[in-house]
Chain A
Amino acid sequence: EVQLVQSGAEVKKPGESLKISCKGSGYSFPHYWVAWVRQMPGKGLELMGIMFPDDSDTRYSPSFQGQITISADKSNGTAYLQWISLKASDTAIYYCARLSVVRGFLLDFWGQGTQVTVSS
């Protein structure tokens, strides 16, 4: 069974750093792209970027380029999303999802989401 399990909720202050995780299981983690998707409070879905764990090929949506870092440790099947200096506007739910290119560029399995709250 394919599963993506994300790390727990975080409460941070502006200017702090943060790294959240997404552990994949039930499939060959290195060989599927992982996507990170932001959902701000009461809003829709925004793609932040994607990474192919096997070779660390990473692509960022222009809106998020320079604001975040996506990485992965293929040896333990985990992807990461990182901020160096959080802002209040980073408050959102962050989802990871598996991107299946072979079947047609679909986000077929999703993590449960990580709530990030940034407040002074």
Chain B
Amino acid sequence: DVVMTQTPLSSPVTLGQPASISCRSSQSLLHSDGNTYLSWLQQRPGQPPRLLIYKISNRFSGVPDRFSGSGSGTDFTLKITRVEAEDVGVYYCMQATQFPYSFGRGTKLEIK
């Protein structure tokens, strides 16, 4: 199975400042079809998860452009250019290149 490792586990950030979360997979997420099925999800307190980014860098409908994704192979990053109060929550990376699909353990974003 593919193991997803996120860092940091917790990220205290000042409002208006940038934030960055890393995700590393135990094997390449490049699929034989040429795509890389790496997503990022946000889970606000008491809410179900919400899709932010898919296929490394594609923002899902309605996601603000302060969120961006990058990376390739085994190393991926989610960046928030200017953190807002509504961004508080836990962020998960997820791979769907190989079944069973797997999630990182989550990074808790909190305001300083």
Contact = CB atoms under 8 A, between A and B. Distances in A.
Contacts of B13: none
Main secondary structure of the interface of A (DSSP, over half): strand
Interface string A96-118: 01010001111111111100000
A44 interface: yes
B48 A44 contact: no
Main secondary structure of the interface of B (DSSP, over half): loop
Contact of B92 (A35, A45, A103): A45
Contacts of B54: 103-104, 106, 108
Interface in A68-120: 95, 97, 99, 103-113
B95 to A, nearest CB: 9
Contact of B35 (A46, A97, A104): A104
A91 B23 CA distance: 28
A83 to B, nearest CB: 19
A26 interface: no
8 contacts: A47-B100, A47-B102, A61-B100, A105-B97, A106-B51, A106-B54, A109-B51, A111-B48
